[in-house]
Structure 1
Amino acid sequence: MDSSDKIYYFDTGIRNAILRDFRGLNQRPDKGELLESFVLHQMQENLKISQDIYYWRTREKDEVDFVLVQDRIPIAIEVKSKMDLMEIPAGIKQFLKKYPECKQAVVLNEHLYGKLIFQNRNILFAPHYYASLIPSLFERDS
């Protein structure tokens, strides 16, 4: 896994000022990027010193928005701005196939909450505001 090549703004207000776009979130074409920044900051606030955050993408363009790693054990995290059904994103499936040590994944979305099983691993679906709790998932797994 490599570190992220993506750039995130610490203050999305500055990002909005640079873009001169202050519309509401649901009217923004960059809603996904804004939600990813929100999720990253929420996780960083609760990150433990033994945890790192990465971004994962293959040559085939499969990707996972965030990979939280503690003691070489990853949790795959995908952020969706719109999702009507609990479906496991292709990037999560590819990540789980490549990294058998990954025991769970999280799909953050607008309003769906639940759990699916894929290859004997838990895939949690939860609203975006759940992001601050993701670093504590390792505690439950121990």
Structure 2
Amino acid sequence: MKASFRSARLVVIDEAQRVKNVGITAKLIHDNYPETKLLLTGSSSIDLANTIKEPLTSRSIDYILYPLAASEVASNATDARRLIEKSLVLGSYPRSWQMADNDATTYLRNLANNYLYRDAFATNAIFDTTIIDRLLHLLAFQVGNEVSYSEVARHIEVSKETAMRYIDLLEKAFIVFRLSQYRKNQRNEVGRLRKVYFYDLGVRNGLIDNFLPLSYRNDVGALWENYCIAERKKYLQKMNIYARHYFWRSYTRQEIDLVEEIGVNTGAYEFRYKDQKVKLPSNFVADYPDVPFKILIKDTLSDFIYQ
């Protein structure tokens, strides 16, 4: 180890959860060579945490390596708006942006259907690939809609507990993320529902095998909502801002796409790909009169996701 790391300024260990005793090794490097920075990457947060959490207590910082952000594929906000359609269809994986569109769709189909979670679940023996595949396809069609664990379980023919566990695995593998419902014990608010989004829309479109241009699609609203929320998460991490995200719905089916809490400040957001009038739900206004509300369309999104 002395010969390998004494002069190194940065040591990168990819898929670190596969390396035997990687946590102890990383601790020894950190303690003996404080000038050397260690970057440990893994496809699954749970597997990586299980191998390094205890040895590296108070010695590490967690960081999510998202797909490319809008500010990384565009030189300015105007350029970012121009590239939105490509992001909605082909996603933001770096490799897909280096390819011609036809090659990118082939790559994404192959990734989504053959390799998407294999590395992430390599050390987790308790999973069924058939169930995972069916679950992923179901969730891909549910983007933007509320997800009932009971309904998901019924469709993929497993118990509710199994469905919840598999969705949790997919989230820890950075394939999907969930929003819970914003509720402050108001009588007109529905509880215990979730929305599930994909970290990358190219993966989502690969799962349903749909790479058509937006003008030929009937899911533009769902794509736009997913894109805005995922890009917001990237932006906030880049700016080192911690936020809690929710969606809101009442029993009368009034909805708000995103409620964001940053410290003591709360904001409500609706996402519309095209400019259209949106009325703030009356129940939300009555229950949360001090929460500001914004409608974000393609031409007004820059300050929300771009820096």
- Tell me, yes or no, whether TM beats 0.5: yes
RMSD value, Cα: 2.3
Please tell me the residue identity of whatever aligns with 2:305.
Answer: S
Please state how far the C-alpha of 1:20 moved relative to its aligned partner.
1.1
Tell me how far apart the structure 2 counterparts of residues 88 and 98 of structure 1 sit (CA, whole Å). 18
Q: SS where residue 195 of structure 2 aligns?
A: coil
Quick one: which of 237, 249, 262 aligns to 1:70?
Answer: 262
Higher relative contact order (CA 8 A, sep 6+): 1
Name the residue aligned to 2:279.
Answer: 89
Name the residue aligned to 2:244.
Answer: 52
TM-score using structure 1 length: 0.69
The structure where strand makes up a greater share of residues is 1
Tell me how far apart the structure 1 counterparts of residues 226 and 297 of structure 2 sit (CA, whole Å). 14
Which one is further off, 2-11 or 21-30?
2-11
Q: SS where residue 8 of structure 1 aligns?
A: strand
Please tell me the residue identity of whatever aligns with 1:52.
Answer: R
Name the residue aligned to 2:226.
Answer: 37
Uncovered stretches (5+) of structure 2, i.e. residues with no partner: 1-181, 184-191
Please tell me the residue identity of whatever aligns with 2:231.
Answer: Q
Tell me how far apart the structure 2 counterparts of residues 98 and 77 of structure 1 sit (CA, whole Å). 16
TM-score using structure 2 length: 0.34
The structure where helix makes up a greater share of residues is 2
How many positions carry a matched residue from both structures? 114
Name the residue aligned to 2:206.
Answer: 17
What are the Cα deviations for residues 50-104 of structure 1, in whole angstroms up to 9, with x where unaligned?
x2111000110000000111234321100113334xx34243x5423320231x2
Q: SS where residue 66 of structure 1 aligns?
A: strand
Q: Does 1:107 align with 2:299?
A: no
Cα gap change, 1:64/1:56 in structure 2, threshold over 3 Å: closer, same or farther? Answer: same
Quick one: which of 4, 19, 28 aligns to 2:217?
Answer: 28
Question: Do the aligned residues in 2 keep the contact of 1:10 with 1:41 (CA within 8 Å)?
Answer: yes
Please tell me the residue identity of whatever aligns with 1:23.
Answer: L
Which one is further off, 69-78 or 14-23?
69-78
Please tell me the residue identity of whatever aligns with 1:78.
Answer: E
Cα gap change, 1:4/1:101 in structure 2, threshold over 3 Å: closer, same or farther? Answer: farther
Percent identity, aligned pairs only?
24
What are the Cα deviations for residues 1-50 of structure 1, in whole angstroms up to 9, with x where unaligned?
2587111011111111111110112321110111111101111012212x
